[in-house]
Structure 1
């Protein structure tokens, strides 16, 4: 085990053996990130949230985050854990910890996922689109190339990122129950952040593709 990023933010701690890919993995929840230099896979499940995977293959270091909203409009101080909900902070933390761990900005490339429209009652806020727009703009401003992206659309996603190869596999959720779980979880999280309500679930067709 090689964990390099315990100095800021909220590091993911849910480690498990992923039978599908045959190796140890870390599952990221909303507001978490993880940086590693070993073969630990990084996984997460996304609705309207976004995950950014950054990788420096020469340094052998990679990381992922999972954020819920693009920027914090409230100027009041927040704890690290609360601030990690917002892309502006979550991206800064991930990039800073990668650079501290030996990555070079000019060698980093990114793969970004999520921003789905899974909360129909929140369409006026366009949360998924805002998250997607934010992460693309952030990476552009930082001069980090986007090697692959799967953003927006009507579906939730499960993402598995393999730091050893830089490959990411994106799978659409297979069951209505899975979609309902994402919608329920995001309803509770978003309700606390923006005071909105969650939608009635709708089934989606499964699909998967490598990135």
Structure 2
């Protein structure tokens, strides 16, 4: 199976273990490192959708949430039409995952950023990357989800899963992450787990139809 973006055929890749060693801060990361009141890891209050973890804690992300750091031992989420992007630094052994519902929006200037939108979730993760004095190009990335939950609906042209996939491709290309694994599309649920100590990403395909996050009763953050 292969995935398409921008007219190019992209093969599905699989996770491969990488040897770990110590590495100094890259010059590019130093140039982009926040200063002043934004420099401290805990200097600014984090949005409610950015999770914190205690040491060796196993986290589960709900739609619209993200985690980035080194404290958690694993981060897991369940995907339907939503998309998850995982990031991991092979030398520093830090990373995280975001789970977004929609690719983007027209955000009013006074509106706070929201992790339910792909571009805003990745912006928050890149800010965390710079706070850790690293560079986005040093990170291994995986892209999962984007199921077509409306594949059985006649005449339906609005495919949110496909739009989420395209936004995931765009963001990975834009920030220069090293893409290591992809499994997207079709009409199946997926469970994704990132193991922070090793960087291994496990993806399990479920049976039946992917959950439709637009249906009432599905546990998710309400969209405005």
Do the structures match in fold with TM over 0.5? Answer: yes
Bigger relative contact order, structure 1 or 2 (CA pairs below 8 A, ≥6 apart): 2
| 2:94 pairs with 1:58 | no
Partners of 1:137 and 1:149 in 2: CA distance? 14
State the structure with more CA Rg: 2
Partners of 2:92 and 2:182 in 1: CA distance? 22
Map of 1:158 onto structure 2: 191
Q: CA RMSD in A?
A: 2.9
Which residues in structure 2 correspond to 1:32-47 (within 5 Å)? 32-38=65-71, 40-47=73-80
Query: Structure 1: any 5+ residue segments left out of the alignment?
Result: 16-22, 195-211
Which residues in structure 2 correspond to 1:56-205 (within 5 Å)? 56-75=89-108, 77-80=110-113, 83-120=114-151, 121=153, 123-174=156-207, 182-183=211-212, 185-188=213-216, 193=223
| 2:39 pairs with 1:8 | no
Give the TM-score taking structure 2 as reference length: 0.69
Give the TM-score taking structure 1 as reference length: 0.72
Aligned pairs, how many? 177
Q: CA deviation at 1:12?
A: 3.1
Query: Structure 2: any 5+ residue segments left out of the alignment?
Result: 1-40
More helix, by proportion: 1
Partners of 2:203 and 2:195 in 1: CA distance? 12
- 1:56-83 CA distance string (max 9 Å, x none): 1212211111100001035464334xx2
